Amino acid sequence: MRVLHTSDWHLGRSFHRVNLLAAQRIFLDHLVETVRTREVDAVLVAGDIYDRAVPPLAAVELFDEALHRLAALGVPTVMISGNHDSARRLGVGSGLMERAGIHLRTDPAGCGTPVLLDDAHGPVALYGLPYLEPAMVRDTLGARRADHAEVLRAAMERVRADLAGRPAVTRSVVLAHAFVTGGTVSDSERDITVGGVASVPAAVFDGVDYAALGHLHGCQTLTERVRYSGSPLAYSFSEAGHRKSSWLVDLDGDGTVQAERVDCPVPRPLARLRGTLDQLLDDPAHARHEDSWVEATLTDTARPHEPMARLTKRFPHLVSLVFDPDEIPADGAASYAQRLRGRSDQEIAEDFVVHVRAGRAADAQERAALRSAIDEVRTAETAAEGAR
């Protein structure tokens, strides 16, 4: 069986205020054409179909159009909700859609109920594990603790229990939306840390033939059977070096996996440039970036006059301007943004405690209280988004 593994479409998202809907439409054209020309048997979308719980109407219309086109090809499509999606909204109408071969899996209680397909070698069971917010699904799944590893283990126990009751020749595929240990992150992914831990071990997927993962935006192979497809478009400059693609996976009769990367269309390349204003304006080496989306980091000691307007004359698609002087001021002070760069919510909160208490850091009990408060706020935000 041949499946096309993709994820993290983030329909409705913009890139530094640039509307990406046209680029997302080009990707979906490419997706449908790949399904047709490469004789794909099933399409897998591992979450984050939309960029937010209540997507703009244009994004919903684009999604609807894509579903109609896939259904018209007669190729089954299995989709799960991600941490950006509203599972309840995305799941509306799933029963009717299933009749057209569009299988939306948004309810954690259904983790152990597969979509069953057949090929010349026998049955293939495809299990959809939507994004599992630990505090909200712990009781549903009977997990021992409200953390990512435990709820995903509990979901996989349901998968294995169902598989155990099926014929021995049944091959299995799992779709999951999670941060698996060993994956490389980007700036554009929403933090899903709970209890100070976000990742789960790849071994949680032992026992299935292929795990089609979503959430991380870089295409990557954790094991031959556990892979991220990554997002089809770049959603932050941290993805400038990414090769955006989907996985075309052949699942042989004995469960052997053969995977091939299928490159996605690139609407406009990304470039991160660094130097003084004069260097960026005059260096001939930057000519190849003049049609790229550009993030320019200026290293001038003093802020130049009208840098955005001057840079835009050479780089008309400049969308981000950062100041990072090579020379630190004599007092050693760094900008607020520089001090926060790359730090988690937990680290920022602990730094604040040190600041207001004249250098005395939070103790273990206080750090646990901060972590609990951050988890509660994030869980409440997720619940509110899902209820909209």
User: Residue 304's pLDDT is what?
Assistant: 94
User: Residue 267's pLDDT is what?
Assistant: 93
pTM of the model: 0.85
pLDDT in tens, 76-104: 999 999 999 999 999 999 999 999 999 99
The kind and range of the H/E element at 154 are: helix 148-164
Inter-CA distances, 185 with 21, 192, 284, 381, Å: 24, 12, 32, 22
- What mean pLDDT is reported for the chain? 91
Number of C-beta neighbours around residue 241 at 10 A: 10
The rounded radius of gyration (Å) of the Cα atoms in the chain is: 23
User: Residue 196's pLDDT is what?
Assistant: 63
Q: Where are the beta strands (DSSP E) in 138-191?
A: 171-177, 179-180
pLDDT in tens, 128-152: 999 999 999 999 999 999 999 999 9
User: Residue 195's pLDDT is what?
Assistant: 59
Inter-CA distances, 118 with 99, 171, 189, 229, 284, Å: 17, 10, 35, 24, 57
Q: Which residue matches tokens 């597969």?
A: 114
Enumerate long-range contacts of 222-230, CB under 8 Å, 24 or more apart. 222/180, 222/182, 222/183, 224/257, 224/259, 225/257, 226/180, 226/202, 227/5, 227/259, 228/7, 228/180, 228/183, 229/5, 229/6, 229/7, 229/8, 229/46, 230/7, 230/8
User: Residue 190's pLDDT is what?
Assistant: 84
Give the pair of three-digit tokens for residue 261: 């990367």
Inter-CA distances, 187 with 35, 184, 259, 271, 326, Å: 30, 10, 27, 15, 23
- Distance CA(180)–CA(216), nearest Å, equals 9
> Please, what's the b/e burial string for 256-268 (b: 16 or more CB within 10 A of its CB; e: otherwise)?
ebebebbebeebe
Number of C-beta neighbours around residue 129 at 10 A: 27
Q: Which residues of the chain have pLDDT under 50?
A: none
> Please, what's the b/e burial string for 308-324 (b: 16 or more CB within 10 A of its CB; e: otherwise)?
eeebbebbebbbeeebe
- Distance CA(294)–CA(312), nearest Å, equals 10
Give the pair of three-digit tokens for residue 363: 């103790």
- Specify the DSSP class assigned to residue 330: T
User: Residue 113's pLDDT is what?
Assistant: 97
User: Residue 166's pLDDT is what?
Assistant: 97
Q: In this prediction, what percent of the chain has a pLDDT beyond 70?
A: 90
Identify whether the C-beta of residue 91 lies closer than 8 Å to the C-beta of residue 81: yes
- Distance CA(87)–CA(74), nearest Å, equals 25
